[in-house]
Structures are given as C-alpha cells and as structure tokens.
Structure 1
Amino acid sequence: MRKLFRNIVRQVNIVRGLPEEVELEPTNYCNLSCPLCIAGRDFQEDPLGLIEDENYSRLVRELVGRVYRLSFSGRGEPTLHPNLFQYIGEAHNLGINTLLNTNANTFDDSRVQEAIKSGLDRIHIGLDGLTQTTYERFRRGGNVNRVFNTLERLSAHKKNGAPYVLVIFNLNRYNQNELVQLSDLAGEYPAIDKIQVVMTSVPGVYTDQDYQSLLHEFIPDDSRYIDGGLLTPNKRCGDYKRAFVTWNGGLRRCWNDTQGTTNLGNVFQGGFFNVWGTFNTIATKKEVRQKKLDICGTCVQSVPFMSRVIYKR
C-alpha cells in the first residue's frame, strides 16, 4: 500500500512540477573528518550553523500534501542538531515520510528511543568497515563499535516500531576484503532490512595532485575501474526530482553544491514553492538530469556512482 501511495504521489508531482523529495540539512556541523567527503570545511562557503525551530516548522507545513518524503541529511551529521527527532516527529504527524542519513556515532539508548518515538520511517547508516582499523580509514574520528551498538539497540526494538534500516558500505581499498563477511551482519542485527554496497569515487574538487593521491589510496582493486572511474558510469542524474535546502534556507539544484553556485534563493525568506518555481522548467530539469551543469564535473556521481544490494529482507 505504501509503495502504491508513493507511486501515485510521484506521478502527481511530475504533472504538478513538484519535487518528490526534499533533502533538508539540519546542520552542517559534523563529528567526523572523512577524507572523501565534499562537506569538509575547505569546500564549504556557508558558516557553520543549525536550522532554527521557527524556520523548520514553517517549511515543513508548506510541504504537507505536496512532497512525499523529507530527508534529513546534508553536509553535516543531522543527529548533532539537538531538536532533530522533534523535527522528525513533527513531519511524521503531518503525514510526511521521513528518512535520516547518519554515521550512527552519536546514538545512545535515549537517542534510539527518541528516533523510534518520532515515527522515523527510514534510517540509512554508513558503515565503511567491519573493524576499527578499516572503518577509521574512511570514517576518520569515528568508532565502528558505536555503529554496531546502534544496530543492536535498533534490533532490540524491531517489533516496536523501529524504522526501516539500510546499511550502506562504501567499498574501498582498505575494506574490500571484508565484503564477503558483510551479509553476515543481517544475522547478527535483525534490525537490518537491506545492505547496499556503493563503489568509492573521488570528487573532483581537489587539486590534481591530491586527486591522484586519493585515487591511489582509496580506489579498490576492481576490474570495472579505469583511471579512477568506472567503465560504465551513470549517464543521468536523478537529482532533478529532489530539492536541497541548507540549514540557513538556501535552495540548491544539487546536493553536491558546497559553494552555493546553483542557489535559487532562500526558502525561509521567499517560501519554498515560490523559490522552487524559478527552477521548475523543463530546460533546467533537463540540465540536471543530463549532467550539464558546470558543477557536474566535480560530482562523485559524474565519475561513477554504482551500487549493488547484497542483502534484502
């Protein structure tokens, strides 16, 4: 029934020219320093900050009945916002499907309880190594046991309204030998509904020297790679169906835009759909879909962004 409802909303939104999903950045603070993340302070134009309660409430009420999903993600770690689960609960009570992207390093028992009580629909957890040694190569400053503890706590509440759990494993040179063990996680942690492996790629925002160095360090031994890119990269981008809102209200055409070069306006000042209307043309959507923006050349999805599912409940 839920899939049917989503498909109806998607088709209606295509006709109405509305985004299927809004990705909201509660904060651009992060607790980790991942070497391949475009959210690093060296690449961000915006100051660090947190979305304010009043701005959030005004935005979420504007989305009711017009957007299927509100994703809490962005350039920072969403759970660093103290009111995150209050926000998720507000969206849930208004009938909006909710998704949280997280590194799962900040959860304790009380935060897991908050997540469940909020009505969160989906949680996507980045787990890029099965040992601390491999994990911290990619998730610098992180602790893999915190992720496992989060999965254990979610598993304890699986029958009590715990959200759908997707574990995302970013395959790289350090963790490639752990791939054969990855599917065993589902047996250890019943909360896991799906495990997805994504292929590492290096964003093109670095200098040539740093870019080549990162390629050499992180790109896995895989016959599908050539010079850091896959032989068959994605030809199209699905971001034309989504909208991206920064913590301070900037509406951007692409999540990869850390400098604000694709900013359409401020939704806290002009209203979400008034600002969105400046983007809602066939020509501009086609630019995004076919990767014709200047920023597309630095995007990790423009090199490749391929994934495969190795477990699904």
Structure 2
Amino acid sequence: MKNNKNMPVNKGNFTSFETEDRINRFEKYRGQGWEKAYARYRKRWNEGPKSLLVPEYPVQVDVEISNKCNLHCPMCFRGKAEFRKKYSGNKLLMKEALFKKILDEIGNKVPALRLSLRGEPTVHPQLLDFIAYSKRTGIGEVSFLTNGSKLDSPYIESLIHAGLDWITISVDGTGTAYEKIRKPLKFNEILDKIKNFRQIKQRLNVNKPVVKIQSIWPAIKENPETYYNTFAPYVDLIAFNPLIDYLANDSPDQILYVENFICPQHYQRLVIGFDGKAIMCTNDDENTVDIGDANTMSVHDIWHGNKLSKIRNIHLKNGFKTIPVCKECFLPRKTAPNETAEVNGRSFKIHNYINRSQNIGD
C-alpha cells in the first residue's frame, strides 16, 4: 500500500559528521553473528511503517527496567514538577517476574529489545541478569542507553559476558560544558571509562557491544571537531541531535509541523514502563495515554488492542494534534538546515527545529 504520509524514521539522530566507513563498520558489527536476520530486522524498521501494515509483533520492544536516575540534567523532563509528583519514591524498578513474563512471550518473535527509557538502567541491580535472560529467549539485539556513570572495568566485562549487543552513552559536550549538563559527573572520568571500554573489548577480542556516543547539538556546536576527535578513536559511532524540548517550554503557536505527518513508532515499537503500563510511544514521558498493561495483558494483545489501533487511526486521518503529547512531540515538527559545521574537512548541515529555543537550562 502506497501513501503520501510523512513518516520520519530515526528523526533527530544525526551522524552527519561520521565517515561512511565508520557507519558501515558500525552496522557490520551490530549484525555480526546474525547477518541475514539483522538485515531483515533493519529493513522492517526502516521501511515497514510506510506500508501502514501492523506486523504480528513490533520490530522492537522497549522495556523500561528503571525509572530512577542518578543525574540531574537541567534540560531533562525529570525536573518537571508533574513528573516528580507522578513518579516519586523508590519503587521505580521493574520486577523480575514481570520482565520474564514479557520476554517469555516476545523471545524469538521480536528481533530487538531496548532496556531503557526514562531512567538509568544501570541502577537496576538485575540488569546483567536481564540481558542474559533476553539473549537466552532468542532476542537478536539487546541494547540500552546510559549516562555511563557505572561503567567501571568489572561492570564492562560483565556486560560483555552477559551478551549485550549495543550501548549508547550520552556525553553532552566536553570539559566544563559536559559537567554543567551531566551533573554531578566529571568529564575526565567519563572519558577514561570510554577509553577503558575500548581497551577491554580489544583485550577480549570482541566487537560487541558496539559503542555509540551522542550529544545534544548546543553542547558541541562551538567546536564539533574537538568533540568528534576526542571520542572517535574509542567508540564505534558518534551522533548528535538538536535539543529536544523535553521541558515543553515552547509556545504552541510557534510550532510549525510537517505536512501529512503520521508517527512511525506505532508500526515499529512498543514501550512498556517499569510498572508494566504500556506507553503510547517513547516521547510520552508521563504516560498520559493508556494503551494497556503488561501485568494482565500479552504484548500481542496490547499491540493489536483497540486503544493503540484508535491512535493509529487518528494519525491516519491527520488528527495527531488532537492528542496533546503528539502535538508537543518533536517528530512532526519542521526542521531547517540553518547551520553549517565542519569536522576534519567534512562540511555538513545542522537541521534544527524551527522556532526552537536552544536553551539547555540551568
């Protein structure tokens, strides 16, 4: 089925200053050991949403094992009073029984699993066990995003032995710029951890987990070449993204939207929070739209349920702005290539959100 809908897959994740060789090697290592299945998985991820057909199971399930975080980044939605009020206390970690219930169903059915969303996954004491269990059930690629604070040598080796396939480390800027954002971490310490990660992989003669780092663009815009050259020898891929309005401070009247937008996530991935509540997408930080509960429902039933089907139909009729969280989302928002940067002689455009104030916060 052909359609004229605008479905921005992988929007906001730019590798513009990477070389083609490094991008290809990153993809090669991600698919190592399951090359044909990996190729099918990536094709389904990138091209599947365009068909507007809902697959039997999502291509990826995001299981938020932790809604706790050990940092205080100024631009993060976790600083909003509404979020703190809704998610307070210590019971913000997924229970083992719930995790295994989910994995027992999706193993060998879903190619990719991400173990992070709103919190820091490494604060969960069972993360290593969860990774190993996921691989035993037949998940092809297990990954998570992290601030890197816990990546000492024993933990890195444990991640490798557990079978982790891919790790993304958020490193916003270098030096004091990083330390103003990733409070209370120190830049030299995170750099040493990343260097050590590389050394351990070399010593063990492994390519996985592939290591990607990413930054918000405002933190590196003054000298992106310094950022790139600092990390390129030690990681597999370096990316950046425009500053997303996590704090929802933008005036709705200033937001410009792309035409014929429809969200690809509802055809790609399903998100399950630490408490088992299914989340409409990765950008519904406060889980404002109820679509199901993995404690009492199967992943299959949530994915094909009436609530998520209704959301898909709203998007099909160009009604995404009737859903508040979709109206505020960065995915349907217009960007413009209004900056030019250069890294090691490679010139590229920066696509920023139109009328988006690039204020990181205090």
Residues of 2 paired with 1:299 and 1:74: CA distance? 16
Seen in structure 2, the aligned counterparts of structure 1 residues 7 and 171 have a Cα distance that, compared at 3 Å, is closer
Which of 191, 198, 213 is 1:148 aligned to?
Answer: 191
Identity %: 22
- Aligned-residue offset at 1:230: 8.5
Which of 220, 236, 245 is 1:193 aligned to?
Answer: 236
Seen in structure 2, the aligned counterparts of structure 1 residues 183 and 175 have a Cα distance that, compared at 3 Å, is closer
Q: Relative contact order (alpha carbons < 8 A, sep ≥ 6): 1 or 2 greater?
A: 2
- Aligned-residue offset at 1:102: 0.6
> Which residue number in structure 1 is paired with residue 223 of structure 2?
178
Seen in structure 2, the aligned counterparts of structure 1 residues 24 and 15 have a Cα distance that, compared at 3 Å, is closer
Residues of 2 paired with 1:86 and 1:56: CA distance? 11
Which of 256, 265, 282 is 1:239 aligned to?
Answer: 265
> Which residue number in structure 1 is paired with residue 302 of structure 2?
275
SS of the aligned residue for 2:76 comes to coil
Which of 109, 119, 126 is 2:170 aligned to?
Answer: 126
> Which residue number in structure 1 is paired with residue 148 of structure 2?
104
TM-score (norm 2): 0.70
**Structure 1 gap ranges (5+):** 213-226
Task: Show structure 1 runs of 4+ deviating over 6 A.
Answer: 229-234, 305-308
Native 8 Å contact 1:106 1:146 kept in 2: no
Which of 318, 331, 336 is 1:301 aligned to?
Answer: 331
Which of 198, 210, 222 is 1:164 aligned to?
Answer: 210
Seen in structure 2, the aligned counterparts of structure 1 residues 171 and 62 have a Cα distance that, compared at 3 Å, is same
Aligned pair count reads 288
Deviations 1:123-167 (A, max 9, x none): 111111111x10022222222233212211221114335311111
Native 8 Å contact 2:56 2:300 kept in 1: no
- Aligned-residue offset at 1:23: 0.9
Residues of 2 paired with 1:101 and 1:15: CA distance? 26
> Which residue number in structure 2 is paired with residue 250 of structure 1?
277
Native 8 Å contact 1:91 1:98 kept in 2: yes
Native 8 Å contact 2:271 2:282 kept in 1: yes
Native 8 Å contact 2:232 2:238 kept in 1: no
Native 8 Å contact 2:291 2:307 kept in 1: no
> Which residue number in structure 2 is paired with residue 217 of structure 1?
none
Deviations 1:187-209 (A, max 9, x none): 431xx111112111323534xxx
Deviations 1:201-254 (A, max 9, x none): 323534xxxx58xxxxxxxxxxxxxx7x79979955332121111101000112
SS of the aligned residue for 2:302 comes to helix
Residues of 2 paired with 1:194 and 1:282: CA distance? 36
Aligned partner of 1:294: which letter? P
Native 8 Å contact 1:119 1:161 kept in 2: no
Residues of 2 paired with 1:14 and 1:171: CA distance? 34
Aligned partner of 2:229: which letter? D
Seen in structure 2, the aligned counterparts of structure 1 residues 239 and 43 have a Cα distance that, compared at 3 Å, is farther
**Structure 2 gap ranges (5+):** 1-34, 345-362
SS of the aligned residue for 1:137 comes to helix
Native 8 Å contact 2:75 2:247 kept in 1: no
Residues of 1 paired with 2:243 and 2:222: CA distance? 14
Residues of 2 paired with 1:106 and 1:95: CA distance? 27
Residues of 2 paired with 1:41 and 1:249: CA distance? 22
Native 8 Å contact 1:116 1:161 kept in 2: no
The 5 Å alignment of 1:64-143 reads: 64-96=107-139, 97-131=141-175, 133-143=176-186
TM-score (norm 1): 0.80
